[in-house]
Amino acid sequence: MTASATVLMIAVGILPAYGITMMIIDQLSRKLHFLRPWVVDRAAVIYLVFLAIGNALVIVEGFIPIGAIVFKTWWGALLSIVLAPIVAMVPYLLELLLSSAIGSVERATLATAVFIRDANSSVNALIERRGVWWTVAIGTALMEELLFRGALLHAVWSEHGALFAILANSIIFGLHHVAFGFNAIFAKMIAGLLWSLLVLLGGSIIAALAAHLFFQYLVWRRSQRIRVSHAM
């Protein structure tokens, strides 16, 4: 099996593995009610564990090249870091627009999925605890960038070219956010496309990680404003 096929299989396989695990845990928590708060609080953490397992597999196989971490040129590093906040704002604003446009349809069609409900509840629970939120947010951003822009982008790029690598990265990255609905899937596809281009521009996943973390910051700031407005 080629490197790109292996990494694709790992990246795609994480999602059903996570979904099935959450459904099994959900069924158990229906019988063991004391598990319910634990499931809701830790759904995002369980996803992070699956990401860590996926990264461990690609690292053991040597699918994350050192060249994916080091910037190729100083101007590429400077330009990609300057652009990072901009390419974080685009998917963030797009997700907000789509949320208001299709929110009611999305709730009607996706609310029956167990891991979708628990993932959203988990994020809401984590937001109330700043330290835990940022630990999970940074861990998830790092794990996703290593897997998607580190291993997947470079493995597919080396075998099938940049265009196919960017498209595959964008689609799979978007699908990994199915737990947050159609708006998140599409916005994260755009994020995957832009952040892949950022890596190709600067030659390092550090720029994509910076964009990812800025995106997380925007989400956190908005959640804090909403909490304050509800408390008033």
Whole-number pLDDT of residue 58: 92
Comparing CA positions, the residue from 206, 160, 211, 220 lying closest to residue 188 is 211
What local confidence, expressed as pLDDT, does residue 167 receive?
96
Per-residue pLDDT, 216: 92
More confident residue, 48 or 33: 48
Tell me which of 9-13, 15-19, 157-161 is least confident. 15-19
**Alpha-carbon distance 22 to 154, whole Å?**
30
The whole-chain average pLDDT of the chain stands at 81
Say how far apart CA 108 and CA 180 lie, in whole Å: 13
pLDDT given at position 170: 96
Residue 71 DSSP one-character state: -
Please report the pLDDT score of residue 180 as a whole number.
Answer: 77
Considering only 31-35, 143-147, 152-156, 199-203, which range has the smallest mean pLDDT? 31-35
Residue 9 has pLDDT above 90, yes or no: yes
155-214 confidence digits (pLDDT tens): 999 999 999 999 999 999 999 988 777 888 999 999 999 999 999 888 899 999 999 999
The yes-or-no verdict on residue 69 having pLDDT over 70 is: yes
Residue predicted with more confidence, 203 or 230:
203
Q: Average the pLDDT over 110-115 and give the result.
A: 41
Task: Provide CB contacts within 8 A for 131, sequence distance 6+.
Answer: none
Backbone angles phi and psi of 94, in degrees to 5: -65, -40
Residue 76, pLDDT score:
80
Q: Which tokens in the block code for residue 197? A: 């281009």
Band the pLDDT of 43: cuts 50, 70, 90: confident
pLDDT-based confidence at 104, cuts 50/70/90?
A: very low
Percent of the chain's residues with pLDDT above 70:
78
**Can you point out the beta strands (E) in 59-103?**
none
21 band by pLDDT with thresholds 50, 70 and 90: confident
What's residue 108's pLDDT? 38
Cβ atoms of residues 115 and 18 within 8 Å:
yes
